[in-house]
Structure 1
Amino acid sequence: MEIRNKLTNTLIVISLLGLLVIIFMPTSFPMQYSFSGEISRWGNRFEFLGYWMIPVFCGFITKCYIAYQRNKYKISPDEHLRNEKPLLTFAIIFMTIFDSILIFVVTQGFILLSTKATVSTFPFINVAIGLAGILIIVVGNYFPVLDYNSMIGFKNTWSIANEKSWELTHRWIGRVFLIFGFSLILYAVLSQANTFNTIIFFILVGSCVIVSYIISYIAYQKTK
C-alpha cells in the first residue's frame, strides 16, 4: 500500500514537472496526428496546461475519496486495504498511461519542430493499442481478488446478486481480460499502423465487454 501511495505521489510530481516544459514550447505546437503520421492539428502550448493537470486531479481525487471512505465507514484496516489497493492501482495505471501519451506527444512535437518535418514515423496508434492491452491485463489480474461488491469491479444486476456470482464472474472475466489484453499487444506488435487498426481495436474491446456480460449472466444462473 505504501508503494502505491509513493507511486501516485511520484506520478503527480511528474505531471507537475510537465507544466514546466510549457515554458520552452513555441506558441504553436503540434497537438494531433493523422493515421499516416501527418500533423492534423496545431494548438496553443497552454492547452497542455489542462492536459498535464488531468493526472494530477486523478491522483488527488483518488486520495480524497479514500480518505472520505475511511472516515465514513468504520471498518477494519484489512478491509480498507482490500478496497483501496485496486482503486490506487487503477489510478496509477491511468496516470501512467496519460503521462506516457503526453510525453510521447511533446517529445515528438519537439523532434518535428527541430527537423522541420511534417510527418511523424512514430506508430501512435499501435502504441495506444499496446498500452490498452497492458491496462486490460492488469485489470484482469486484479478481478479475481476483488471483494464482493467492492468499490471497483464488473458490476451489474447479475454480478452483485450474491457473493458466489460475484466471485465466479470476476474469476472468469479475469481470464477473458488476460486473453483479450495479450491479443491487443500481439496485434499492436505485428501490425502496421493504419486506420484499420482502430477498427480492430474497437471490435476487440467491444467483444470483450459483450463476452463479460454473457459470462456474468452465466455465473448468476449457476449460483441463483
Structure 2
Amino acid sequence: MKFFATLASLITLAAAAPAPSALASPQGLNAGVVTPSKVRVVGLSLLGSGCPAGSADVQIDATKTLLEVTFSEYIIQTGPGTKASEWRKNCKLTLNLEFDEGFQFATLATSFAGFAQIPKGARGLCTNTFDFTGVAGSSSYSISLVGQREGPFALSADPDITSWSPCGGTTSIMNMNTQCNISPTQSQALIAVDRISGKLTLNVSLEWRKCK
C-alpha cells in the first residue's frame, strides 16, 4: 500500500537523517527585552505514548526566548490494519527551569513542525497545553491539519490565555502536554516526524519579565 510504503521510507530517512543544526533565533525577538543572564534545564521527565524514554529532547536558544522540544518517535496513523493505540498519541513533559532570581516567564506562541499525510475528508488535530506547578490556570494552543494534504508542515498557534510562572525563586516547573489525533480513523492518514530532520518539533516562544 502507498500509505505503508510512505511510512517505511519516512522511518528509514529519519534514522539516517543528520543531527539538526543549532536553534535559529527569531530576528528581533529579544530586542529591548530584559531576560535572565542564564536559563537552563535542570530536570526533565516524560510520560506518554508519543515519547518513549530517550525519544525527546529540550533545548533553549541563546536569547532565552525560544524553547525547542523535539520528538523522534511521535507517529500517529489511522486506517485499515492500524490499532486504537496508534490513532492518538500524547506526551506529558515536566520541565524544571533554572534562571536568575527575580524573573518570571510565560509562553507566547507555539509552532509545530513535522510531516502529515491527510486525505480529503479527514483532519488531524494537535493541542499543546502548558501550566506551572503552584499556579492556577493553563495556556492552550491548537492547530488543525485538514485534508487533503501530503508533505511537511509548520503551523503556529497563539494562546487562549496567558499564564505566568510564579515569582520568588530561581526555578520553576512547567508542565507541557502535547497530544495529536486523526479522525475519522477509517481513513489512511499519518502525522509523524519530518523526513529531513527525523523529528517532530515543538517550538515555544517565551516572554520574560521582572517580578514586582
- The TM tier, using the shorter chain, reads under 0.3
TM-score scaled to structure 2, two decimals?
0.27
Q: Which has the higher contact order (CA 8 A, sep 6+)?
A: 2
TM-score scaled to structure 1, two decimals?
0.26
The higher radius of gyration belongs to 1
- Higher-helix-fraction structure: 1
